[in-house]
Amino acid sequence: MAIIYGIPADTFHMNATRWYSFNFTECVVACQENPECVVAYSGNQNYFNYPYYIQPDVFRYDGPSDVSIVALKVALSGAQCPRGKNAPTFNNVPAKGYLVLSDTAQVYTYCKYNFTLVGTKLTFAHETGSYDWDFINKYGQG
């Protein structure tokens, strides 16, 4: 999870999960453990988790602030933390992630996503899909 100062574009989205008895650390852990969550937010004693399907764009700012913090579920490329400006897109390279939404004996469903920084807005985009294991086993991935 990459933690930045910012606020979701739609803070009180009806499909976001609101935590009343959590602190920010617990909110981030809950997001990390939820296969659909991509953003955790803490602002004014409110704690939310946002699933990928509500397009959780985020307005980033350079802080510091104790009022509004966002954690984004992003994947690291390589074993080291990225360096550069404009976290989490470091040097304006899209921050990417991958979710396994379900993995059964028949079907593997996934979500690939990225956050792209334009000005101060991190725009979220995603693509979902699935593989039928029987088809792959019989014909390969194509």
Average pLDDT, the chain: 82
Does pLDDT of 30 surpass 80?
Answer: yes
17-19, strands of its sheet edge to edge: 17-19, 46-51, 37-43, 68-72, 2-8, 58-60, 121-132, 107-118, 95-103
**pLDDT digit string, tens, across residues 104-135:** 777 778 899 888 888 888 889 999 988 776 76
Instruction: Please report which residue ranges of the chain form alpha helices under DSSP H.
Output: 24-33, 133-139
Domain enclosing residue 96, as ranges: 2-139
By three-state DSSP, how is residue 79 classified?
Answer: coil
Quote the pLDDT of residue 142. Answer: 47
Q: Structural domain tally of the chain?
A: 1
